[in-house]
Amino acid sequence: MATGWAGDGAVQDQIEATVQDGVSRVQSRLPHGSALEHCAQCEAPIPEARRAALPGVRLCLRCQEAADRAAVAFSGYNRRGSKDSQLR
* Contacts of 62 by beta carbon, 8 Å cutoff, 6+ apart: 42, 44
Per-residue pLDDT at 71: 79
Give the SS3 label for residue 57.
coil
How confident is the prediction along the chain (88 residues), in pLDDT tens digits per residue?
Answer: 555 676 788 889 999 999 999 999 888 877 778 889 999 999 999 999 999 988 899 999 999 999 988 877 766 666 565 555 555 5
Per-residue pLDDT at 46: 95
Task: Find the angle CA(43)-CA(68)-CA(39) to the nearest 5 degrees.
Answer: 10
Per-residue pLDDT at 76: 63
Is 57 domain-assigned? yes
Is 63 domain-assigned? yes
* Structural domain boundaries enclosing 69: 32-74
For the chain, the domain total comes to: 1
Is 41 domain-assigned? yes
